[in-house]
Structure 1
C-alpha cells in the first residue's frame, strides 16, 4: 500500500509540475532541493509513473555512495509499501536487488559508468537522475559528461536530471545545454550555532593523521550536547578511525545508544541508523551523512570540522586520502541536519574567527585525485584527452599526463592514448587499472589481494599485506565480510574478461551517427598490436602464482604487478623505491628485515621527506624484477662523484641499483660530460693556473669590461659555455681529475683571443702586463679589479711624473709605496697628489726613512729606485 501521507508531506512535491514541464520541453533539468525535501525519493517515483499517474518509464538514479544507493532504494520501496527488488531496486558493487518489474533502479555512479561503457545507448532506460551533484565526485562528473554526449548524439529522447542539495546550478545548467533550473523550497527550522573550540589549539591535520587530542575533545562536546539539548546527536568525523576512537572515548552512556555509520559499516547497522529508534542515540558518521542520507530524530549536530579528500603526490608517485578542514558549504550542510524536523543546534569544534578562513566550497575531485581510472574511462569512451567531454572543470594537464603514463605502462592505451583491448577489459573490472592489470596477469589467482587493495584496510590489520590477508580470511568483522564478497565478484569478472572482449569502443558517441544502432565498433588492428607490445603479460604470474609458490610470494607478486614503480630495496636505513622515492617502515612493522618490499599504501609524515609505509609486502628480488621488468635497464654510467670521474656499468630497476661493475673503456663522450660536470661543480680551479695564466684572465676581463667585443668574456659561466672553443683538444684527451690538473689554463685561454680580427696583437698595447715608470723600472699592473687596475710602485720611482699612467684610456689606481713596500698613499691623480697630499706623507715618513730622498718639489725631482748614498756615488 502506497504511503500517501508520507509522500504528500515531502516539500519537493510543490516543484514537481515545473520539473515535469522542463523535462517535457527540454529533456533536461537541474533540480536544486535542500536535504530532506524528497528529491531523492519522490522525484524518481513520479518520473517512473509509480505515483502521480504519469506514463510508465524506467528510471535510473545514480548515487555517489553504496550506502546512499541502498538507503534510497529501501526508502522508495517503503513509500510504495513494497520490498526492494520489486518496483524499486538497487545495484551496487557486490549486491543487486532488481526484479522483472523494477522501474526505478538506484545504482552507484561507478555502476552507471560500467553500463555506459558496455552499451552507450542505455537501452530501456527513459530517464537518469544524477543525485548529489554538488559533491563533485569524479565518477559523477564523468557520468554526467558521458550521458550528455549520449543524449546529444544517440538518444535525444533520454531525460537527464542533475539533482543537488546545494550546487552551482547555473554551471550545471550551462553544461546540460541551457537546462532549466527548478528550485524546491525546503522546510527549515532554526539551528543555533554553538562554538565549542578545544581548550588548546590542535595541530593541523596532515595526511591521514589528526591530533590525538581531537577524539577526546569531540567526545566531551558530545557529552555536553547530550546534557544541554534534547533529541539524537549526529557527530561528523573525518574517517572510520576517528569514529572508532570517539566511540571508545564515549564509553557507556547509560540509556544512550552509540551507532557508527560509514561506508564500511555492516548493512544491518546502516539500516538501523536510518530507521530511527526508541532509545536516544549518538550517531557517529563520516561526510556520507551530510546530504545523501536522512537520519531521523536528530536535533543536535556535533561537527569536528574535518573531512577526507583524495590527493595525489605526482612527485612521489603516491596517492590516497588526506585529512582537510571541511569547507563552509559542508559546514552548512552538516548544520542543516539538526533542523530537519524541529529547531536544533550545531556544536562546532572550532572558533568563530577560524570559520571565516575556511574554504568556501570543497574542491572538485577531478582537481585533486589520481586520474588514472578517469583517463581510462575517457580513452574507452573514445576521447583520450577528455577535451570533448562536458565537464564543469577540465582535468589538470599534469595529472592527466601522469595517468596516461600509468595506463601505457600496463598496456591499457596505445601510443596515441587510445584504449587497447586490454584497456577495455581493465575498465570493465570495476577496480583501479593498476589492480585490474594484476588481476588479469595472475588469471584471477590474485583476487584476494586485489580485493584487499580495493578498499582501505583497517589499521588494526597491520602493515603487512600477507598478514592482512590472513586476518581478512578469518572474518569476524564488517570489512572481512565485504572483502569476501568482493573476492567472489573479482573471481567471476576475471574469468569473464580472461579473453579480449568481442568489441571495443573506438569512437565517442559524438563521432557516430545518431541513427547507428550498434553499441560499439570493433577495435582497430593498431590498438590490438599496441596492446600486445605494451602488456606485461603472464610472465609475472609465472614468477609466483603460476609456479605454485607460497602464499606470501603470491601476495608480493600481485602488489608488485599493481605498483611496479613502488618495489623497493633496503638501502642505507630506508627503502629506495624504483620511482626514486624513499620509504620508511613504522616502528614494530612486520616487514622489518625484508631485503625487498613493495609499497602498496604510503603517506608522508609531517616534516619527513620520506614516505611511510602503511601497507606493503615482502617480495623476492626475482619477483620484483619480473613485475617491474619494464623498469629494468643496464647502461653505462659515467659521472663526476667524490671529486673524480666514476665509470660504471649499472643494472637498475628504476632508481634501484641491482648490480655494478667498473667500466674500463668508457665512451669518451660520457667521460667528457663527466669532466665538464666536475668543472661546473668544483670550478675551473681543477685546471693548472700558473701566475701568468691568472694574469692573462684578469687582463682579458679588464678589456671585456672596458672595450667589450671582440675581447672575450672570461667569467666562469662564459668559459663553461664556450668550453669547446678554448679547452679542446686537451679536454678530449683527459680521462680523470689528474688529467685536468695537467691542462695549462693560460695556453688554453689564449685560444679565445680575437686572432681573426687582428686585435689579439694589441693585447700588450691595451692591457700591458707591465708598465715602465719614471725610474726605468717595469712594474706589474694588477688587473684583479677590472673596473680600475692597480699600479703598486715605490713613491720615489714616480718623481717627476705629473700625469697618471693609463691603460686602454683608464687611469691606473696608483698605490705609492713607502721604502718598506707599504702603501703610503693611493691616488688616481698624481698631479693633485704631488700638490696637496705629498707634504703630509713627506712629513710623516722622511724621519723614518732618512736614507731615501724626500725632495720638497717631487714633480721636478729625479725619480730613483735607490737610497741617497747610492745617488751620491
Structure 2
C-alpha cells in the first residue's frame, strides 16, 4: 500500500501547518473537531492524513453532490492517480469508486442509507463530516448515528470539519458526557476585503418571490463592476450569489445580453456534472473573463479559482415548515450574516478582493446572525424513518447537536404511520425498511413502489423524478410539465431524465401495464393522499380547493376548471394566486374519483355524524376524504350516537346548554354548600364534577335527548336528586332547608351561595319588622354556617346586612328607625325592638 504524499498534496495549502497538531490529537483521541477558514485545504489534506494512519477506507461526507465530485477529482489529481482508484466518490445516481478506493467522498444521504445495511461500517476506519456549519439535516443525523457506532467501535475515527462552526456544541455531541471531543483550530491571516453597498431602488421580494426589478438591479450592478474589474485585473473572475436556480438563470440571461464579451456561466446542482466541473476547474490563462452566477452551492463547500469580486443578493432559499398546515416548502428570505461572510470570503481566497452587497448596511445588520439549522424547519418524515430503521425512534438515546422538534416529529410520525412504515411503538416495519432503501422522501418512495404496478414503472419514475427534482412547474400543471420535460433538451430536462432512469431501475417492471398523462394524478395522490383536493369555489381569477388535510389553497390556469386535484406542492402565499385562501398550489394534476378511492382509501370514511344543536340531537350520514365532505344526508341517530353527541356538546359548551329552573338551581346550590362544608358523601356539583358524573345523574335524560326530546323539556331537579347519598339524603332539609321560618311566621326562601365561592354564605332577605325580638342568628349544616340576613324596608329595599341580630337590635337599629319611620309611618318602628311583636303587616292591620 503506497502512502499518500502529504507534502506534495499540501504544497501551497496553509492547513499543511496544522497537520502535526491534528495528528498528535489523533494519537490519543478518536473524535476531533477541525475549524479552519475556507480555502485553507482542510478538505484536501485531512482525508489523506487519516488514510495514511490506517489501512481501512476513509469516508468524507459533503452536503452536495457537486462538492463531493469536485473534492474527489481535486484530490485524485493532486495524488496523481485516476479518479475511482485510490480516491473516488459516490453520489445519488453516480459512482466512481472500487474495492481499492482508500478515500471515498459521498453525500451525507448516501452514507446514511449505507449505514442502514452496514451499521458497523465494516472496512471503514474513519469518517469525516465536512461543512458541518451548514447544519444540514442529514449531517446532524450522521453525528447522532456515528456517536452510537463509536460506542461499539472504539477504533472508528470521526472528524467534524467546517469553516465556521459552533465548536463547543459539535464537540459535546461527538464526545462523551465526561469528555468532549478536542478542537483543532487553524487560523490564517485573511487577505483584505473591500465592502461596497449597492441597495436596489426596488423591493427585493414580493408575494411571488424575488422581483424582476431586483434581478435587473443585480445584473446591472454585476455588469458595471465586471467592466471595471476587467480593465484593472483581466485575470480576475466574478462570482454572483442568487437564492435559487430560477434567479441564477434570469441573472445569467441578462448578463449575456449586457456584457457579451464575458463568459457567463451558471453553477448549481441541476446542471450536468461536466459543466459543474468545468466551472470549478477555473479558466485557462488568457481565456475570456468569467462571471459565474451561483446558488449557495459555492458558499463554502467549493473553491472557484480566480474570483476577486463577489456580488451578493443577500438572499437565501431554504426549507421552512408551515406549522399551521403541517407542510414544508422552500422560502426565500434574507441570508444570514454568517452566510454573507462566507460568500464574501470567496473573493479573498487567493488575494485581496471585493464584495458588493445589493442591500444597504441597515438591511444587512437586520439579517439573522446565522442560518437556522435544517432540523428546526424541515419536514422530518425521511429523518424519522431513518431513525426508526436504526432502532432509535425520534432520535432516542442518540447524542445529537439538538433534538428533533416535537411538533415536526409528531407530524412526521403521523405520515409514516399512514404509509405503514412504522408501528404503534415507532419502530420500522418491513414496508418501512423497504421504503428507507429507496433514496427519496418516504412518500415518493411509496408512490414509486405502489404506483408502478398500476400505471407502469416508467411513468411512475418520471412523476417521482419531477416531484423530487425541484423543477419549476408552469401554471402548477404537473402533467404538462412532464410533456415539456420529455421533449426538452434543457439542463432541467437532462437531469430529470437521468433521475427517472435511476428510479425506474429501483422497481420491478410491470409487463403489460402502461398509462400516460391520466396516471400522473394517481402517482401524486399515492405520495400525498392528504393533499387530495376538491374545488370548493371558482371565480374569474382562479379557483379555491379544499385539501384532505383541511388546508385551503388557490390555483390559476387550466387546473382551476378541474373538480379533483392531486396536489404535489402547496405553499403559503397571498394575492390573486392564493384566491383568498392564504396558500397557493404550485404543482398538481387532475384526479378521477376512481383514482381518488384507490390512492386514499385509508382516508375515506362513511359514518353518521350526530351533533347536539339548537337544543336537539341532529344527525347526518357523511362520506368524507379526510376533511373533504363528499356527501351528506339527514338520518336518525342511534341511541349511542345521540348520547355521544350530547356528551360532546356538554364537554365543549358546558352545562349552560341546559335550561336551569329555579328549583334545579336551588337544589344544586344546596348540594354545593353541603359538599363545601361536609365533603363526601355529599356530591361535587360544580360544572366539572357534574360533567365527570354524567352517566350517574343524567343517564335517562341523555337517552331522552338522544331520542329527540328537546332540552327545554328536561327536569334537572329530578336528575340532581339521583346524586343524593343514602342514608344521608334524609337529612337534606334539616341541614340545608329550602326555607327558613322567621318570628313573624313567614317561611322565607334561603338564597344559597353560588358554586365555587369558598366564603359565600346562605342569605335570607326579609322585612326588618318580621324579625323583632329575634336574638339568636340561625345556623345551617349542623351549626357550621350562619345565615346572612338582608333586612329590608317595607318596600323591599335593603336597610342592613348582618349575621348578628342581637348586636343589630342593640346598636344600628336606632339609626335605621330614625331614618325610616318618617318614610314608612304606617309600619311599626318601636323604640324597643326586643319587646315588639314581629309582623309582616302595617300597624293598622296588625292591630286589627
Fold agreement, TM-score > 0.5: yes
Asked if the contact 1:806–1:812 (Cα under 8 Å) also holds between the matched residues in 2, the reply is: no
Larger displacement relative to structure 2 (843-852 or 718-727): 843-852
Distance 1:750 1:21 in 2: 85
Larger displacement relative to structure 2 (445-454 or 11-20): 11-20
Shift of 1:669: 3.4
Q: What 5-or-longer segments of structure 2 have no aligned partner? A: 539-543
Distance 2:654 2:402 in 1: 49
Q: Give runs of aligned pairs for residues 3-14 of structure 1, distance below 5 A.
A: 8-14=11-17
Distance 1:288 1:366 in 2: 19
Distance 1:802 1:56 in 2: 106
Do residues 188 (structure 1) and 193 (structure 2) align?
Answer: no
Q: What 5-or-longer segments of structure 1 have no aligned partner? A: 499-540
Asked if the contact 1:11–1:185 (Cα under 8 Å) also holds between the matched residues in 2, the reply is: no
Q: Give runs of aligned pairs for residues 830-849 of structure 1, distance below 5 A.
A: 849=824
Which residue matches 1:577?
547
Return closer, same or farther for 1:7/1:805 CA change in 2, 3 Å cut-off.
Answer: closer
Asked if the contact 2:696–2:723 (Cα under 8 Å) also holds between the matched residues in 1, the reply is: yes
Do residues 474 (structure 1) and 474 (structure 2) align?
Answer: no
Distance 1:717 1:871 in 2: 50
Distance 2:463 2:36 in 1: 42
Helix, strand or coil: the match of 1:310? strand
Asked if the contact 1:680–1:720 (Cα under 8 Å) also holds between the matched residues in 2, the reply is: yes
Helix, strand or coil: the match of 1:429? coil
Which residue matches 1:720?
691
CA deviation vs aligned residue, 1:356-405 (integer Å, no higher than 9, x gap):
77655444434443333334434555655655656444545665555455
Do residues 262 (structure 1) and 268 (structure 2) align?
Answer: yes
Q: Give runs of aligned pairs for residues 686-705 of structure 1, distance below 5 A.
A: 686-687=657-658, 689-705=660-676
Return closer, same or farther for 1:709/1:810 CA change in 2, 3 Å cut-off.
Answer: farther
Shift of 1:481: 1.4
Shift of 1:715: 2.5
Return closer, same or farther for 1:851/1:325 CA change in 2, 3 Å cut-off.
Answer: same
Do residues 744 (structure 1) and 720 (structure 2) align?
Answer: no
Q: Give runs of aligned pairs for residues 47-446 of structure 1, distance below 5 A.
A: 60-76=59-75, 79=78, 89-97=88-96, 105-117=104-116, 129-143=128-142, 161-169=159-167, 175=174, 181-186=183-188, 188-193=190-195, 209=209, 215=215, 232-244=237-249, 252-254=257-259, 258-267=264-273, 270-271=276-277, 273-276=279-282, 278-279=287-288, 281-313=290-322, 316-348=325-357, 361-381=370-390, 386-387=395-396, 391-396=400-405, 399-400=408-409, 402-413=411-422, 419=428, 422-443=431-452, 444-445=457-458, 446=460
Distance 1:488 1:434 in 2: 19
Do residues 615 (structure 1) and 587 (structure 2) align?
Answer: yes
Distance 2:480 2:349 in 1: 45
Return closer, same or farther for 1:368/1:868 CA change in 2, 3 Å cut-off.
Answer: closer
Distance 2:792 2:54 in 1: 111
Q: Which has the higher contact order (CA 8 A, sep 6+)?
A: 1
Do residues 788 (structure 1) and 761 (structure 2) align?
Answer: yes
Shift of 1:475: 1.1
Shift of 1:590: 3.0
Shift of 1:292: 0.9
TM-score (norm 2): 0.81
Return closer, same or farther for 1:754/1:188 CA change in 2, 3 Å cut-off.
Answer: same
Quick one: which of 527, 532, 537 aligns to 1:562? 527
Asked if the contact 1:773–1:779 (Cα under 8 Å) also holds between the matched residues in 2, the reply is: yes
Distance 2:387 2:30 in 1: 25
Distance 2:831 2:568 in 1: 92
Do residues 817 (structure 1) and 793 (structure 2) align?
Answer: yes
Helix, strand or coil: the match of 2:534? strand
Distance 1:680 1:789 in 2: 29
Asked if the contact 2:203–2:213 (Cα under 8 Å) also holds between the matched residues in 1, the reply is: no
Which residue matches 2:467?
453
Larger displacement relative to structure 2 (695-704 or 604-613): 604-613
TM-score (norm 1): 0.79
Shift of 1:558: 0.7
Do residues 15 (structure 1) and 18 (structure 2) align?
Answer: yes
Which residue matches 1:516?
none
Return closer, same or farther for 1:860/1:69 CA change in 2, 3 Å cut-off.
Answer: same
